[in-house]
């Protein structure tokens, strides 16, 4: 929460809208979010905190449920977008449009991580921009010493420019050699799909005439079952 406030300060508190959807927490999440909401009000940050007592129904489809939750979090954007569309029709004013939609999953991040993603989104004119989401664990060598190992995490969603799944080994990350060279140098490289904990999205596909939404795969078709994030990449 503190890092988000640092991001907002640099972007300008007046330039940000934050939407948080929470349900079914059994720890102190709700209390913490209420405190965060009070901080946001202090800084006059537009926000919506949507807290529900309901939990995911036992027999619900996991991806369909997650897609609906993500769409719930985006409801303020849909409402704002429709309101501004009507105003533009009357006045022609385009000054109050959102530049980016940023989703943040349950990850640890610093202010500059988010700012770097926004910068790379602009520099590369990318519709979808993601970081590298990494896991760390210890391996024990033959002498009993613990060696920290770093691996790529989100192999379920991430697909390289050839459409192949990412590998765990960050020194041999994709099937595309040029992408691997750029990744080793810490340079951005193009992919077919990513999410990786944070994503910066071009908001236009969520508006008319496309009206994209998060979804599950279409039943009784040849579309493979996949994450709602993977399907969003395909729809983009």
pLDDT of residue 91: 67
Domain count, the chain: 1
- Tell me which residue has tokens 């409402």: 79
The answer, yes or no, to whether residue 199 has pLDDT greater than 60, is yes
Residue 29 in domain: yes
- Tell me which residue has tokens 């599950």: 216
Q: Would you tell me how many other CB atoms lie within 10 Å of the CB of residue 93?
A: 10
The answer, yes or no, to whether residue 96 has pLDDT greater than 70, is no
How many Å apart are CA 201 and CA 128, to the nearest integer?
5
Least confident of 64-68, 85-89, 126-130, 145-149: 85-89
**Average pLDDT score over residue span 124-152:** 92
pLDDT of residue 92: 62
Question: Taking a C-beta distance cutoff of 8 angstroms, is the pair 177, 163 a contact?
Answer: no
Question: Taking a C-beta distance cutoff of 8 angstroms, is the pair 7, 114 a contact?
Answer: yes
Residue 236 in domain: no
Query: By residue range, what is the domain housing residue 37?
Result: 1-55
The DSSP-derived string for 166-202 is PPSBTTS--S-HHHHHHHHTT----EEE--TTEEEE-
Q: Residue 74: which H helix or E strand, with range?
A: none
pLDDT of residue 223: 93
pLDDT of residue 95: 57
Which span out of 22-26, 91-95, 112-116 was modeled with the highest average pLDDT? 112-116
Residue 78 in domain: no
The answer, yes or no, to whether residue 94 has pLDDT greater than 80, is no
Residue 75 in domain: no
Question: Taking a C-beta distance cutoff of 8 angstroms, is the pair 158, 173 a contact?
Answer: no
Residue 28 in domain: yes
Residue 108 in domain: no
């Amino acid at each position: 929460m503190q890092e988000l406030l640092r991001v907002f300060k640099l972007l300008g508190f007046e330039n940000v809208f934050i939407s948080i959807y929470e349900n079914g927490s059994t720890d102190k999440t709700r209390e913490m979010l209420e405190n965060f909401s009070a901080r946001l009000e202090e800084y006059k940050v537009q926000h919506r905190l949507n807290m529900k007592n309901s939990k995911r129904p036992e027999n619900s489809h996991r991806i369909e449920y997650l897609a609906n939750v993500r769409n719930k979090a985006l409801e303020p954007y849909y409402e704002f977008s429709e309101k501004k569309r009507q105003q533009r029709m009357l006045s022609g004013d385009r000054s109050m449009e959102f530049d980016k939609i940023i989703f943040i999953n349950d990850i640890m991040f610093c202010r500059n991580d988010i700012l770097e993603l926004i910068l790379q989104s602009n520099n590369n004119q990318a519709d979808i921009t993601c970081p590298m989401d990494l896991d760390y664990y210890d391996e024990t060598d033959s002498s009993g010493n613990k060696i920290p190992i770093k691996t790529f995490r989100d192999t379920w969603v991430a697909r390289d420019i050839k459409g192949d799944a990412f590998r765990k080994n960050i020194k041999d990350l994709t099937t595309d050699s040029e992408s691997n060279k750029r990744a080793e140098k810490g340079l951005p490289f193009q992919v077919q799909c990513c999410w990786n904990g944070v994503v910066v999205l071009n908001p236009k596909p969520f508006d008319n005439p496309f009206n994209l939404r998060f979804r599950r795969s279409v039943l009784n078709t040849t579309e493979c079952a996949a994450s709602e994030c993977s399907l969003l990449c395909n729809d983009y």
